[in-house]
Structure 1
Amino acid sequence: MMNGFEKRASLIKEKIMKTCLDMLRTTDLRGIRIADISKKAKVSQVTIYNYFGSKEALLQEVLKAYFDNIIREFEEYMNGGHTLKEKIEHIIFLEKESYKDISPGLIKELLIEDHELNQYVEKQYREKAIPLTIRIIEEGKKSGEISSDVSVESILAFIQLYMNQYETILEMAEKSGDMDQFLEGMVNMFFYGLCGKR
């Protein structure tokens, strides 16, 4: 149980992190300064340095919390009562919602610059997202919704291909004029191929 001081400290830390995350949504990485975070969060720069030590450490903590939240929501969705097609769509376009949040380009830049953060995200992906995805695929194979001729490995590879081209697909979807319809078409092709349902 937190005492009054710890609770207050936790709330201040949360406010600083939320302000930083909000700024990541609209500001170029180079444009984010402790002075601006301090002004927007209405706390002193000294307070920010006391809690986080540096801008880099603050960004790392903010992004770790951000990815933890994405993984938690992913797990909740996968364990919810959704159809296999909805689950596959969610896996492929997991970033569709977070793209509106923080651009994949910025996330990529942060991951290149911060080796520890990159390792953390890789570990979360490897230990949580991949096993859950494999479980969903295996359940689909058991129920006959996924062909027994297709291996789990090849489905994972196919999903990876989609995810690697995610930025390009999103740009095309935005240019199409109807993003949701475009992405729905991509999911249908992933799921049923060019010939559609038979």
Structure 2
Amino acid sequence: MNGFEKRAQLIKEKIMKTTLDMLRTSEPKRIRISDISKTAHVSQVTIYNYFGSKEALLREVFIHYVDKIIRDFEEYMNGNHSLKEKIEHIILLEKETYKELPPRLIKDLLIEDHELSRYIEDQYKEKSIPLMIRIIEEGKKSGEIADNVTVEGVLAFIQLFMNQYEALLEMAAQSGDLDKFMEDMVHMFFYGISGKP
């Protein structure tokens, strides 16, 4: 990469970082190219030259964000962690993601951009699900997951949990102790309400 390409890459990264920072506090509809331009200290023309439109910029920022989450997820899952630690990581990953970007913002982005929605769905099917299946199968082989529990059953249980994650986070916030609430959820995920057998 020559000097011009490096400089161009740095400018593009600065625009994307500025946009991601703005997404943490503003709805996508309220963010304007002029605001991004002013905050990133680049011209509006530069932003249009790199991304073409605000929608394309938002899409690229979110894809970059999701790709990093997936890389980090794969790295953790391939690490030397127990099955319990890996499943706990899956459950608590949503909490960390929602701290970064509010759930309503993510929903808005996916509803408004079908291409982005398809990309996220493809990543989930092609990378996340196969990795989770492998982890569950390893857990069954090691005896950490009961023989009579199917891979499909564990995946369904995780999915049910994730589908209600926004509501769980609201309850956790109302409880006054988010971390303790989430620890309880993880404990019940593994051992039910009766405690560890």
Q: What is the TM-score of this pair, normalised by structure 2?
A: 0.98
The answer on 1:180 being equivalent to 2:197 is no
- Alignment map for 1:14-33 (pairs within 5 Å): 14-33=13-32
Task: In structure 1, give the amino acid aligned to 2:184.
Answer: G
* More moved, 27-36 vs 46-55: 27-36
Please give the alpha-carbon distance, in whole angstroms, between the structure 2 residues aligned to 1:135 and 1:40.
44
Q: Residue 46 of structure 2 aligns with which residue? A: 47
Contact 1:141 1:147 (8 Å CA) reproduced: yes
Q: Deviations over 1:46-80 (max 9, x none)?
A: 00001001000000000000000010010111112
Please give the alpha-carbon distance, in whole angstroms, between the structure 2 residues aligned to 1:28 and 1:114.
14
Please give the alpha-carbon distance, in whole angstroms, between the structure 1 residues aligned to 2:105 and 2:79.
30
Q: Residue 139 of structure 2 aligns with which residue? A: 140
1:93 Cα offset (Å): 2.5
The answer on 1:95 being equivalent to 2:94 is yes
Task: In structure 2, give the amino acid aligned to 1:192.
Answer: Y
Percent of counterpart pairs with the same letter?
74
Please give the alpha-carbon distance, in whole angstroms, between the structure 2 residues aligned to 1:95 and 1:34.
29
Please give the alpha-carbon distance, in whole angstroms, between the structure 2 residues aligned to 1:95 and 1:28.
20
Please give the alpha-carbon distance, in whole angstroms, between the structure 2 residues aligned to 1:106 and 1:89.
25
Task: In structure 2, give the amino acid aligned to 1:35.
Answer: S
**Aligned pairs, how many?**
197
- Alignment map for 1:119-198 (pairs within 5 Å): 119-198=118-197
Please give the alpha-carbon distance, in whole angstroms, between the structure 2 residues aligned to 1:28 and 1:78.
32
3-state DSSP of counterpart to 2:24: helix
Task: In structure 2, give the amino acid aligned to 1:28.
Answer: E
Contact 1:89 1:187 (8 Å CA) reproduced: yes
1:162 Cα offset (Å): 0.5
Contact 1:173 1:179 (8 Å CA) reproduced: yes
Task: In structure 1, give the amino acid aligned to 2:26.
Answer: T
Q: Residue 59 of structure 2 aligns with which residue? A: 60
Question: What is the Cα-based RMSD across aligned positions, in Å?
Answer: 0.8
Please give the alpha-carbon distance, in whole angstroms, between the structure 1 residues aligned to 2:139 and 2:123.
23
Q: Which runs of 5+ in 1 are unaligned?
A: none
1:82 Cα offset (Å): 1.7
Task: In structure 2, give the amino acid aligned to 1:186.
Answer: M
Q: Residue 109 of structure 1 aligns with which residue? A: 108
Q: What is the TM-score of this pair, normalised by structure 1?
A: 0.97
The answer on 1:13 being equivalent to 2:6 is no
Q: Which runs of 5+ in 2 are unaligned?
A: none
Q: Which runs of 4+ in 1 moved over 3 A?
A: none
